[in-house]
Amino acid sequence: MNQALNEASPVSIKASLGEVFFILSICTFLVFFVLLVLIRERQQILNQSYANIEKNGDKVFSVLKDHFIKYQKNKRQDVYTYNIPDETGNMLEVSEAVDKNTHLRLRVGDTVECYRQVIKLAGKKIVISRIKGNLEPPTNYIYLYNFSLVGIGFSGILFFLSIFYFMKEKVFY
């Protein structure tokens, strides 16, 4: 009877704190490293596409719908919104930050010349657009890039904690 109870009891896994931290550090490193690679790859593709959009893109005309001002790091950014058609004729809304010289020549309701390009990113077709003459760099994913770097740093901290607990167990036991 006692033997049947022992066999039916749940199995307890005995793991040290060092092993747990080590496994967590490896898992978090892998997750954040994959995220870092994906973000970097996406950013490179977008940068190349925006650099070549005037050469490879289709010329379309759009009407400016809205203008708003955004302050980022004490720097004023003028952002315009307009619609562009995709390959099938569906209208897509685009918001784009413009440089100061381009802002001075734009007014809401004006028709502007834009370049449109369809790119494939992560298996999906994405339409990118740029107002002709705009020199403002496109937005980037620096916040996600920094987040993944912090995550890799966190996995390093977990790794060193696991080494500390492994050393502690060896010295005191």
Q: What is the pLDDT along the chain (173 residues), one digit of tens a residue?
A: 455 555 555 655 666 778 888 899 999 999 999 999 999 988 888 888 888 888 888 899 999 999 888 888 888 888 999 999 888 888 889 889 898 888 888 888 889 999 998 888 878 888 889 998 888 888 887 889 999 999 999 999 999 998 888 887 776 55
| 170 domain-assigned | no
Domain carrying residue 157: 21-161
pLDDT of residue 138: 83
Put the strands of the sheet holding 75-85 in their side by side order: 91-98, 75-85, 58-72, 111-121, 124-131
**What 3-state class would DSSP assign to 126?**
strand
Task: Name the residue among 26, 32, 30, 21 with its Cα closest to residue 163.
Answer: 21
| 169 domain-assigned | no
pTM of the model: 0.72
| 41 domain-assigned | yes
How many domains does the chain divide into? 1
pLDDT of residue 124: 83
| 168 domain-assigned | no
| 6 domain-assigned | no
Task: Name the residue among 87, 101, 106 with its Cα closest to residue 136.
Answer: 101
Which residues have CB under 8 Å from 88's CB, separation 6+?
Answer: none
| 90 domain-assigned | yes
Task: Name the residue among 121, 62, 58, 71 with its Cα closest to residue 97.
Answer: 71
